[in-house]
Structure 1
Amino acid sequence: MLSIIVDEPHSMAVRKRPVPHPAPGEIRLRVRYAGICGSDLHIFHGKNPFAAYPRVIGHEFVGDIDAVGAGVGQHRIGERVVVDPVISCGECHACRIGRRNVCSRLQVIGVHRDGGFSEYTCVPACNAYAVPAGLPAPGAAVIEPFAVAANITHRTGVLCEDIALIYGAGPIGLNLLQVLKRVHGIRAFITDHVDERLALARQCGADADEVINTSREAIEPALAKRGAASGPTLIYDAVCHPSILEEAVRIAAPAGRIGILGLSATPSAIPQQELTRKELTLYASRLNCGMFPTVIDWISRGLIDPGRIVTHRMDFRDVAEAFELAERNPSESCKILLDFGEAA
């Protein structure tokens, strides 16, 4: 089989490797599509503090089960599944209180152990979820980033009277938009400086006056002009730049909640006075915590369409070009899928 391996920072190759055999409790997947995430780019550039090298990357993928290990029913062979990349110990404090996504011995598929950028990969059977009938494989490959969006909205809660603001119309921001608009039915603004991304936001459910190009409009007057002068009650930072969190604290409505995604190591200068004066609440969110069934239910009920953010499908052998497109051309690309082809 062929796998995409990051040998060390800035060194990536498509290389032949033996087809793996599933261990007890595992299934083997013939990968169909795998999505490129910002964290994959970070591993390639040596900017992910959790990755060990060499590593087969990729944590957003869909495929068909073609073999099972001991203890897994043969009936699962042939099942099309998506994979939750979170593997936890089940014993530490975080796991015991239901927060296994921040397990003290957390293993993330594609980060701590080999992932889905490979023709075949083995994963725990309990991490593989059946794809809803009728959902095309490209859309199924985007269930994992939808689970990330579902996790942060679960953390913050969403009230029917909320007015939300999303920073960043990338894959996570756009998925958040669908969740807020289509699942919860609230007003949600979304910002970006790329018009093409904001056009995608319109396709994901944003009204014309809910998209804000921050290269042309400052955020506070833009919100005031749109009837939200008191500030958003719910803010999500899907960009993860220190200045955004500082701005979010400043513009949030009293009693507002702020959700933070990403792993920026750069500190933010947040005045405690502002947090306390408005009694704001900050929610951090990492990966997802058991949100795959929720997202699959939303898809089955027609509430969300994961395929809307997919802009490109490229042969996995062209991964270097795909990475270049993802990094250099945000106006042309949003979610790029690597195509591993149909099983022989």
Structure 2
Amino acid sequence: MKSIVIERPDILTLDERPIPEPGPGEVRVKVRLAGICGSDSHIFRGHNPFARYPRVIGHEFLGVIDATGPGVDPERCGERVVVDPVISCGECYPCRQQRPNVCTSLAVLGVHRDGGFSEYAVVPAANAWVLPEHISDAYGVMTEPFTIAANVTGQVAPQPDDIALIYGAGPMGLTTLQVLKGVYQVSQVIVADFIDERLAMARACGADWVINNQETPLNTLLAERETRPTLIIDAACHPAILAEAAALASPAGRIVIMGFSSRPSEIAQQAITGKELTIYSSRLNARKFPVVIDWLTRGLIDPGKLVTHQFDYQQVTRAIELFETDQKQCCKVLLSFP
């Protein structure tokens, strides 16, 4: 089988590997479709602190189970599934708190162990979720990105009367926007970004107000409308955002940090305690695949508004380079496998 392997930073190869056999509690998935994420690019470029090389990347993928390991019902063969990349122990303190996404022995497919950018992938059977027939492959493969938004919103419990501000109109900002509007019916969602074309995508996804905050400071525009966000989501992940978000937030507001910047954020305690702000962080997803599959089934979210390009897997280098360089026209890129 062919596998997309990052041998070391900036070295990507298309390797011929033996087709793997599933072990106890595992299934083998014949991959049909996979999505490129920012973390795949970061591993490729050597910017992901959790990755170990060589690595088959890819944690957003869909396919059909074609083999089962010991202890797994053979009747599962033929199921079309999406795969949760989060593998946890189920026993440590975070797992007992229903937060397997920060398990003390966390393993993520495509990061800590080989992922789904391959013709076949072996995964835990419990991580393979069946998709209803009416959900297309192109929509189904977007389940994992929407679980990130499900994890965020599951923590902060959005309300219809919230005023939400999202920093960043990339894939994570846009999935969160769709969930706030389509699932939680939040009355006002504002999206800020430096790129007008991305803001147009946000408008198409339901944003009530889009702002190019490179042109005009957010505090000026929000003050003009006497708007104080009650919920702020940092999907742009720049260290300067936290201090600005604390200044913009309504008293008793909530702020969510989604990023992994290693650079420190400078903020005075008074900026937080003076308003009694609540600050959340969110990583990966905590068993949110059934939640998102339900949203897809009910038509509450529209992944098609995010998918802009699709390539054959053999064109992966071109696909990643497009994802990295064309932020105006490119949002979500999919790879198809035979």
TM range (shorter): over 0.9
Deviations 1:95-123 (A, max 9, x none): 11111110000000110000000010000
1:132, 1:299 within 8 Å by CA — same for their partners in 2?
A: no
C-alpha displacement at 1:221, in angstroms? 2.5
Asked whether 1:324 is paired with 2:334, we answer no
Partner amino acid for 1:185? Q
Counterpart secondary structure, 1:278: coil
Shift of 1:215: 2.4
1:273 aligns to what SS in structure 2?
helix
2:64 matched residue in structure 1:
64
Q: Which residue number in structure 2 is paired with residue 174 of structure 1?
A: 174
Tell me which of 230, 240, 245 is aligned to 2:242.
245
Counterparts of 1:17-28 in structure 2 under 5 Å?
17-28=17-28
1:35 corresponds to which residue?
A: 35
Distance in structure 2 (CA, Å) of the matches to 1:299 and 1:138:
12
Percent of pairs with identical residues: 57
**Structure 2 SS opposite 1:242:** coil
Partner of 1:102: 102
Unaligned residue ranges in structure 2 (runs of 5+): none
Alpha-carbon distance in 2 for matches of 1:117, 1:255: 43
| 1:80-159 paired onto structure 2 within 5 Å | 80-159=80-159
Q: State the one-letter code of the partner of 2:205.
A: C
Q: Offset of 1:217 from its aligned partner?
A: 2.6
Residue 14 of structure 1 pairs with residue 14 of structure 2: yes
Conserved 8 A contact 2:307-2:334? yes
Partners of 2:38 and 2:132 in 1: CA distance: 26
Report deviation, 1:338: 0.9
Instruction: Return the alpha-carbon distance in structure 2 between the equivalents of residues 217 and 310 of structure 1.
Output: 29
Query: Could you tell me which residue of structure 2 aligns to residue 275 of structure 1?
Result: 272
Residue 224 (structure 1) shift? 3.5
Q: Which amino acid aligns with 1:188?
A: V
Post-superposition Cα deviations, 1:150-169, rounded to whole Å, max 9, x if no partner, equal: 10111112122210000000
Is structure 2 residue 189 aligned with structure 1 residue 188? yes
Aligned CA distance change for structure 1 residues 50 and 69 (closer, same or farther; 3 Å) = same
Mapped to 2, the partners of 1:222 and 1:293 lie a distance apart of 39
- What is the deviation of 1:230? 4.1
Q: CA RMSD in A?
A: 1.1
Answer yes or no: is the 8 Å Cα contact 2:19–2:120 preserved in 1. Answer: yes
Residue 337 of structure 1: which of 326, 334, 337 is its match? 334
The correspondence for 2:305, drawn from 304, 308, 311, is 308
Structure 1 gaps, min length 5: none
1: CA distance, partners of 2:193 / 2:20: 42
Cα drift, residue 193 of structure 1:
1.4
Query: Is 1:204 aligned to 2:205, yes or no?
Result: yes
Letter in 2 for 1:111: V
SS in 2 for 1:39: helix
Q: C-alpha distance in 1, partners of 2:223/2:303? A: 31
Letter matched to residue 197 of structure 2: E
Q: Which portions of structure 1, spanning 4 or more consecutive aligned residues, are displaced by more than 6 angstroms?
A: none
**In structure 2, what is the Cα distance between the partners aligned to 1:130 and 1:224?**
47
Amino acid in the other structure paired with 2:58:
G
Where does 1:256-295 land on structure 2 (aligned, <5 Å)? 256-295=253-292
1:216, distance to aligned residue in structure 2 (A):
2.4
Query: Are the equivalent residues in 1 in contact too, given 2:163–2:230 (CA < 8 A)?
Result: yes
Question: What is aligned with 1:74?
Answer: 74
Q: How many residues align?
A: 337
Measure the CA separation in 2 of the matches of 1:224 and 1:183: 28
Q: CA deviation at 1:213?
A: 1.4
Distance in 1 separating the partners of 2:160 and 2:329: 34
- Whether the aligned pair in 1 keeps the contact of 2:89 and 2:95 (CA below 8 Å) is yes
Cα offsets for 1:284-314 (capped at 9, x unmatched): 0100001111111111111111222000001
